[in-house]
Chains A and B, each alone.
Chain A
Amino acid sequence: MESKPLLPKTVGIWTRPNSPKLIDAISIFDYMDGAGELYLAYRFDHLEAIEYQAETQKEILVELYFMKASEDAFGLLSLDWGGESVDLSQSSSESTAHDKSLWPRALYGEGLLRIWSDNVYARVMAYQETPESKQAVLELGRAIVKGRSKPPAPEMMKALPNALLQNWKVHRDRAGYFRSHLVLNSLYYLSHENILDLNHSTEAVTASYEQQDPSGNHARIQFLTVLYPNHEHALKALSHFHESYLSDYPVPVDSKPSEDMENTFPVEDGWLGYRLHKNRLSFVFECPDQESSKKIINQME
């Protein structure tokens, strides 16, 4: 049984109330209208909000989002890799090999600390950053992760290679894990509708890749891959995508269903390539030419 974060009654000059505010999937819209959808786009269980108060400084708000699994908490952190990576381990013995992984577990910037701690995504925010409040925020962060396990990043993140065709390098701070088109749209806009049939049973990752030409100009492509529960779901999603996004091209997916399918198309922002392989559907967008889009989709699993 995973231990629940234990928050101190006082931290520095700040004190919390005895009980947290409890928010579920329905009351989250009262708590944060216009924002609840983000958490429900992942597998959300409940939220505990605790406001620390002090007489001489502004409040510190602690929000503990209890998700169904570690992957969902990771996904929330992955929406923004900005900030300073901080190590909240209490001692060197707590720093495991996982902490040396590619993905930070906690990020701090201008009063806000965001944490992925197993199935908890935490936001600890000082409404005014001061040396004292920063110290208190980090202390609260250490209390949140204390004694909790550190599972690795979702397996799906391994679907993002460090490089595509050797010369396209991953932009690691623009890589995200998600299950919903709402989140996809905040990372890379495709359509306001759910044209990839994403839901809580799917897992998806996207990242941008860059290369620099000899004159120093940067070019960028976008890689996206979705893992569906089964091949039928993936095939149906490809059909939906084709009908919505590539409506000016014939739909090739309903004539002879196959476990493997790949294709490339010229669209307004470059070449688009996709590959369907069993229950995985992968895309590359904005390729400069057909050859590179073909090579990249052939590199896909």
Chain B
Amino acid sequence: MDETTDISHAKTQKRQEETKTLHPLVELTLMRVREFLREKEAVFWVFIFPVLMTFALGIAFRNTAPDKTLVAIEGEDAKATELASVLSRSPEISASVLSPEQAAQALRSGKVSIVVKPTNDSFEYHFDPTRPESRTARLLVDDALQRGKGRTDVVSVGEQKITEPGARYVDFLVPGLIGMNLMGSGLWGLGFTVVIARSRKLLKRFAATPMHRSHYLLSFMLSRLIFLVLEVAAVIIFASLAFGFTVRGSWLSVTLITMLGGFTFSGIGLLVAARPTTIEGVSGLMNFIMLPMWLLSGTFFSSERFPHVLQPFIQALPLTALNNVLRALMNEGASLSSNWIPIGILLFWCVISFIVALKIFRWQ
């Protein structure tokens, strides 16, 4: 009898040694990491989706010969046919002869960028000046027609076509995708996890233990840091393999800024999740916060294109700041110090959102 209890006692002791617990902050962070890695969908959205997106957009906007400008010529007489042959001599124009109705229809639906209507001795251009491709088409068509009538260049100019790495659309796109991805994973990752824990009364249960509340919130930061490195690396490595993307600035600066971006959006995620008790509530709030940044912060095209009056607002958005710094570092090889304004904006959002989130956080 004594012997068996001794053995089982020894066994228990040995097992206890096996499952030592670590510092609460480490245990909490481990919990985050485990929960994330065991959620297959989350892994897809954070790691696979951005890579697929880079791939799709990189292919869609890859550098092939620029598309020809499509032009319609109105009228069915010999004059129109002659005009078409003049225009088609230009390598950048593809002209077709259409009836007036067909031509108007083609212009309306965007099939052609401009309609040329022959008049007695001249031409008339029908186009929509608010469409950039129509304005380009007008210049190309006019140039081709004037040359056809005998105009010559006053000065001959040299041309150098630049499509080298660093100035292509994909080079512009990758930093933007990284920024957008950091925003998405920070907000969704934190927001949902916190609100689910709250709605399942898990936050209340933690509040009933001597756990340091700051440890709980810090564990989100630490786990984000781990995944951030992986998700940014996934996009950069893929883009460099598939499209020859290169980072011109220093890797240290890029690492520091992605960390700052990750922390900033974690803070905003925490702020968004500080009060809501339902998934519906937090989803609405997250969309409300992210939508303006998706639209305005220059992920897919430069935010400079938006009207001047909106610029102060757009530049103050954390995603605009992050995208701008990332592009400066990756595309232009700029230094951190020359980007102190957007870095300052990011730091501001990071600190403010954390402080406010801690103040208003609801544990039950």
Query: Do A and B associate with each other?
Result: no
